Amino acid sequence: MNRGSLDSILFGNGPVLEWQERVEIALGTARGLAYLHSGCEQRIIHCDVKPENILLHDNLQVKISDFGISKLLSREQSTFFTALRGTRGYLAPEWLTGSPISDKADVYSYGMVLLEIVTGRKNCSLQTHSHITESNNSEGNGLSSYSSGSELRLIYFPLIALQMHERRRYMEVADPRLEGGVTSEEVEKLVRIALCCVHQDPALRPTMANIVGMLEGGLPLSEPRVESLNFLRAYGQRFTETLRMQGSNEQNELGLNLHMNATSNGASSGTENSLSYITSQQLSGPR
């Protein structure tokens, strides 16, 4: 594809995507997934929706790639059981608990991608700062955390998106590089859709066809169900505990794998690392 992957464009050092370009990419991806789920003779569950697998033409036409672990279902079949597959950080909770998998697992992954489109950053990231205080974590909400003897701060954007939705402070979620090129109402629309996509209960997630309708404006926006999003708070707290346990030099020993992205993320001036995945036990919480 002429412009490469969404991952390289969104997190790279090239020109910043304008808001309308992001909306077009989100809509093109939603249309592609809707076609896979309901427009083919067989239902296709992609199982690995992430920015690296969203390819773009010069005109921002979207192509969804990498069907190596996809699953074909008959029109009568709605769920299946399988071993864990996909990329951690985009995996729906049902992957981690051995529950039946449906097309709603792709919806969850799409929601995580949509949050990254809004923020311009990886959903799970570590940022280094020369001076950090603990005042940002006074509520004990997992927004900020510190590894022992280091200046690493955890940023878990899905939790931030939920909290800013509850406070109706949507501009605090938007990519700061947009510099006023988006309104609060426009950000609210995508954040609300994304939060609906990442409901813990698959039955509460919209279909990809309905997501297309909401993005196009033909369907009213759904309201995120906070009771099915509280697991994000547990995830944020678990990330906090992991950093406190590990410290700056022990991250790999307890299974927290870091994909170093210090030079490729233009949003962070070379100081941000992304959490490429975390162990399923850490993500799924108490059984």
What region does 99 belong to: left with phi over 0, alpha with psi -120 to 50, or beta?
beta
175 a catalytic residue: no
Active-site choice (48, 103, 106, 175):
48
Residues annotated as catalytic are 48
